[in-house]
Homo-oligomer: A and B are copies of this chain.
């Protein structure tokens, strides 16, 4: 079990995507802002794998909120590049949870981005509220 947990940490949830030309700016590389799009998309896909649907949560009045984002830009992606975005959950405090995320170019796995995201969750009244499913995901991490 111990071993399995360790392996899980070594191979976090990830998705392979491809740069779209409209994501590149006048420098001919992916505009910085789009990496944040990639990271968000893969966080939401990760949440799906644990039974959380961002769209349904929103409709039901549970608002997941990013509080802080730190992104280190190591190397740019270019038109046509394929890349891998991963997502590892990190529990921070009773009301805050986080994600470590990386982007690697494929097939050479050159690191493009490393990021750390801190989030929380509020209900319709704007008060902190973590749905039980979120509690569960982050309990073990």
Contact = CB atoms under 8 A, between A and B. Distances in A.
Interface in A80-139: 80
Contacts of A71: 68-69
B73 A44 contact: no
A55 B69 CA distance: 27
A79 to B, nearest CB: 4
Contact of A37 (B22, B48, B58): B22
A33 B25 contact: no
A72 to B, nearest CB: 5
Interface residues of A, number: 37
A112 B105 CA distance: 32
Given A21-B26, A54-B79, 19 more contacts: A20-B41, A20-B44, A21-B55, A22-B25, A22-B37, A24-B55, A26-B26, A26-B28, A27-B58, A27-B63, A28-B55, A28-B59, A32-B69, A36-B36, A53-B80, A67-B72, A67-B73, A68-B72, A68-B73
Interface of A: 20-22, 24-28, 31-34, 36-37, 40-41, 44, 48, 53-55, 58-59, 63, 65-73, 76, 78-80
